[in-house]
Amino acid sequence: MYVVTPEEMRGIDNRTITEFGIPGIVLMENAAIRTVDVIEREYPDLYKSGRVLVLVGGGNNGGDGLAIARHLMLKGASVKAALFVNEDKFVGDAKANYDIYRALGGKCLFIQDNPGYLQELDSCIGKADLIIDSIFGTGLSRDIEGTVSDVIERVNRSPVPVVAVDIPTGISGVNGRIMGTAIRADYTVTFGNIKRGHLFYPGREYSGKLFVSPISLPRCSAESIGVKTFTLDDGEVSKGLKERPKDGHKGTFGKVGVIAGSLGMTGAACLTSMAALKGGAGLVTLGCPVSLMPIYQSKMTEVMTYPLEDGGAGYLTGDAIPSVQDFLRDKDVLAIGPGLGPKCHGLEILRYILDHFDISIIMDADALNHISKDLGLFPAYKGSIVITPHPGEMARLTGMDIEEITNSPIDVATNFAKEMGVVVLLKGATTVVAHPDGRIYLNSTGNPGMATGGSGDVLTGLIAALVAQGYSTYDAAVYGSFIHGRAGDYAMKKWGEAGLVAGDILNEIPLVFKDMYRLKKATK
């Protein structure tokens, strides 16, 4: 499903109105009906004796709220609309819905020019069973202050549940940031497409449970205006998974090579290698420092090991290059970087590989730290590369501050992908996967418990496994980030967030695939 900016959404709405002749007031009515449908499902007893407070701004978001207020009132709920603009300020479709609401006897609390509004509002909040937030939508461009800020503070202190219309008031539709202050919603009903602000924190948290409702927008709307940002749900991922042939063998599902590990960081190589196996690869071979081979052979039964020279140092040196050539000869994909360490002759090894091979490569961790010293290796490579940096590693690659990167992850990932010709998977609470052609995937799975050492190593192995099975490097990065996050969600349900470790994520990967393939079969 596509993810849009507020500007892109305005373009979609305008095209719907001008090219297809669907009036704006029809779209507003559809939005109201869809929101009421959600309210009815989540609060089925609301109409028996329920009291609803609708917070109404002056724009189209407020018009949506007034239409919702009308429908709830006509269904039997006791409704009051708190208006943050004077009635003469309503225009267009919002004014039409205000006039209809008032003509039907709808009750209002006028906030403007009412010195006692706070006391009356506190009374309305205290008596309410549900609050509808339709003050500001995704077009908010300035920080909230004054009267609206005071009201938001009271709503957030209240135990009354909140349903936000399109996006919680005060959350930026562009990046999910709080614009001064913001409504904390229990549910958000958005229309047509998810907005970027719904997926990036803190907007993701403030939105509560998100519903994406159709309002008669043409199916081709997002594509027609050039939207390239998307996210996926379980159904979409399951549909995209490749069938595993009944007559398949080890070679059918690909050969993964892993170059990883050093003294003190042997666990990273184990996690990456095992994730490649649990991700469905047929054969996985770990190329590791020869002095550490007894450790790996004792820890992993199913993963093969291949000795790479380390001169007894416990990390790879340039002497490993001749054996790297033989190691990679029959591999379909290489995962390189986890646990290599700062002393490893990583740049020398990477130069050799990029000069002499063209297989797909997944680069993580220390591989990124080493190659940051010679970024020209990226565009010169003949094969496909996926890099999987966290913000600190991205800072070393770009020379930017970590804060700059976390403030603009889409721009940073997209620009680097285009400039270097690589797929960029920029890790974060909302992971961004950028393709050199401008496609952008925003991941919706995962939880804070996954912020633990080794979690990224598991992701690297999982992506490598998908490439080995025939997925493009971009699709592997997209599906890999989704499945990795979903495995973390499964683990969190078992163990909670605080004690979750990377091995817990690793062990849930096969169960995620099991459920995805079951869903794929059920929806054929």
| Dist CA 492 CA 449 (whole Å) | 7
What percent of the chain shows pLDDT beyond 90?
97
Q: What's the CA gap between 226 and 114, in Å, rounded?
A: 46
Q: What are the residue ranges of helices labelled H in 230-292?
A: 234-240, 266-278
- pTM for this predicted structure: 0.96
Reduced to 3 states (helix: H, G, I; strand: E, B; else coil), residue 366 is helix
Residue ranges and CATH numbers for the domains of the chain are 3-225 (3.40.50.10260), 236-522 (3.40.1190.20)
10 Å CB burial of residue 365 (0-12, 13-18, 19+) is: buried
pLDDT at res. 524: 79
- Contact (CB, 8 A) for 329 and 300: no
CA proximity to 100, closest of 76, 70, 64: 70
Is 350 within 8 Å of 322 (Cβ atoms)? Answer: no
Q: How far apart are CA 504 and CA 508, in angstroms?
A: 7
Per residue, what are the HEC states of 122-163? HHHHHHCCEEEEECCCCCCCCCCCHHHHHHHHHHHHCCCCEE
Instruction: Look at residue 114 in the predicted model and tell me its pLDDT.
Output: 83
For residue range 227-286, what is the model confidence (pLDDT) as tens digits? 999 999 999 999 999 999 999 999 999 999 999 999 999 999 999 999 999 999 999 999
Q: What was the pLDDT predicted at 373?
A: 97
Per-residue pLDDT of 125-180, as tens digits, reads 999 999 999 999 998 999 999 999 999 999 999 999 999 999 999 999 999 999 99
Give the residue-averaged pLDDT of 183-203.
98
| Residue 213 burial class via C-beta count within 10 angstroms: exposed 0-12, middle 13-18, buried 19 and up | middle
- What sign does the CA torsion over 404, 405, 411, 417 have? positive
Q: Is the pLDDT of residue 27 over 90?
A: yes
Beta bridge partners of 336: 259, 363
Could you tell me how many helices (H) and strands (E) the chain has, helices first?
23, 19
Q: What pLDDT, on the 0 to 100 scale, is given for residue 113?
A: 80
Contact status, residue 75 vs residue 108, Cβ threshold 8 Å: no
What is the structure's pLDDT at 240? 97
Confidence of residue 421 (pLDDT cuts 50, 70, 90): very high
